[in-house]
Amino acid sequence: MNVEQQLTDIELASKQKAVLESLKTGNAALKSIQSEINIDDVQKLMDDTAEAKAYQDEINAALGEQLSAEDEEAVMAEFDNLEAELALESLPDAPVTEVQSEKKTKAPAYAEAPAEDIDDVIELPDVPTKAPERSEAPEKTKVLEEPLPA
């Protein structure tokens, strides 16, 4: 055995001692924490969690089911009724005061004319009976620049 081997063994023993001390400290901390936790409480918590998950699964299954045609029609009818109620609630109330009439001002002459004479008072052009014709004169195009010879 040489000196190098002996130094390596000492270093290894020192590290093993540190690991052993760390394991003792960790074990003591674990026992301290475990003394605060009761196994019955843990089991009860796990059972409660399983029940809550099962209940949520039942809700998801109920919501995920397809409605029958009758159920869907009933739901849609109720939805339409609710929409109608909301629409009625959003309408403003009718005024309860009476509207006061103002003195009439002189209306234009065409307002007083009988319906037969309205065409005489308002002089409008006749309505066209065919599409307008397009003049066939060729449109002149202007050349802005002449191309340069090569």
Per-residue pLDDT of the chain (150 residues; tens, 9 = 90+): 799 999 999 999 999 999 999 999 999 999 999 888 888 999 999 999 999 999 999 998 888 777 777 888 888 999 999 999 998 888 887 777 776 766 656 555 555 556 666 656 677 778 888 887 876 666 666 656 776 776
d(CA 74, CA 58): 23
Amino acid identity of 115?
Answer: A
Q: What radius of gyration do the chain's Cα atoms show?
A: 49
Map out the domains of the chain as residue ranges: 1-36, 38-84
Helix (H) / strand (E) element for 94: namely none
Pull the structure tokens for residue 63. Answer: 């919501």
Pull the structure tokens for residue 25. Answer: 């400290």
